[in-house]
Amino acid sequence: MIKHELRQDQGLLLITPEGALEASDFQELARELDPYLERNGKLHGVLIHAHAFPGWKDLAALVSHLKFLRDHHKRIEKVAVVMDGAFATLLPGIASHFVHADVRHFEDTNYRGALEWLSDGAQPILLTAAEMVWLKRLENANDVEAVPAMIASNLIRLELAEPGASGRMVLTRKGANHLFHHRDTTPR
């Protein structure tokens, strides 16, 4: 059984296995994740938190898990495995042969560090109107159509209070690094 939470505003999926993995677990994950991926294109990160790897209930669960990985791995940027044990330590090396995502292991006591790594360790920085104009110049963007490219490049992120509500645009750590690194060389 897998307990999960999709944090749509952050693009993170938090997974906590609670017993042997079952085929229905991966079907349920796909039902929730697929609509998100259709709207957003990718998932910024997955955090898997378990004290030890629980294994699969049966062969059908293993096959369902492999199908889920096959269908989703190219649309996930990072995976943080928060778990103790030899299997968890070896997992990033094994996974690198099969998945597109950057996979890292964190000790069971470092859940917070894993979350920070998945979210680039940054709190959002609010942009002023002047900074947004400057960022548009930096990206040679004179129209709103450039915003999706900046989001896809993880330079900015949109945060909405609730679906359909107005929100705010924030600069990520990557965007701030990009902004401040290039600020002096950009014509004003």
pLDDT > 90: percent of the chain: 26
Residues 89 and 133 in one domain: no
The yes-or-no verdict on residue 24 having pLDDT over 50 is yes
Residues 113 and 39 in one domain: yes
Residues 79 and 168 in one domain: no
Tokens describing residue 122: 């940054």
Residues 97 and 6 in one domain: yes
Asked if 118 contacts 47 with a C-beta cutoff of 8 angstroms, the reply is: yes
Range in 1-5, 72-76, 95-99 with the lowest mean pLDDT? 95-99
Q: What range defines the domain where residue 27 resides?
A: 2-118
Q: What is the pLDDT of residues 122-171, one digit of tens each?
A: 444 455 665 566 555 555 544 455 566 666 666 666 555 555 545 555 65
Residue 188 pLDDT grade (very low, low, confident, very high; cuts 50, 70, 90): very low
The Cα 30–Cα 60 span in angstroms is 16
β-pair type (43-49, 76-82): parallel
Residues 62 and 142 in one domain: no
Residues 29 and 107 in one domain: yes
Range in 38-42, 92-96, 180-184 with the lowest mean pLDDT? 180-184
Residues 14 and 103 in one domain: yes
Listed residues 74, 91, 118: the one ending a domain: 118
Mean pLDDT of the chain: 76
Give me the CATH number covering residue 180. 1.10.10
Within 8 A by CB and 6+ apart from 35, the residues are none
The Cα 33–Cα 71 span in angstroms is 11
Residues 7 and 52 in one domain: yes
Residues 113 and 132 in one domain: no
Residues 114 and 141 in one domain: no
Listed residues 99, 118, 137: the one ending a domain: 118
Backbone dihedral region of 184: left (phi > 0), alpha (psi from -120 to 50 degrees) or beta? Answer: alpha
Residues 83 and 142 in one domain: no
- Number of domains forming the structure of the chain: 2
DSSP string, the chain: -EEEEEETTTTEEEEEE-SSB-HHHHHHHHHHHHHHHHHHS-EEEEEEE-SS---BSSHHHHHHHHHHHHHHGGGEEEEEEE--SHHHHHHHHHHTTT-SSEEEEE-TT-HHHHHHHHTTT---EEPPHHHHHHHHHHTT--STTHHHHHHHTTSEEEEESSTTS-EEEEE-HHHHHHHHHHGGGS--
Residues 110 and 129 in one domain: no
Give me the CATH number covering residue 35. 3.30.750
Tokens describing residue 141: 């963007």
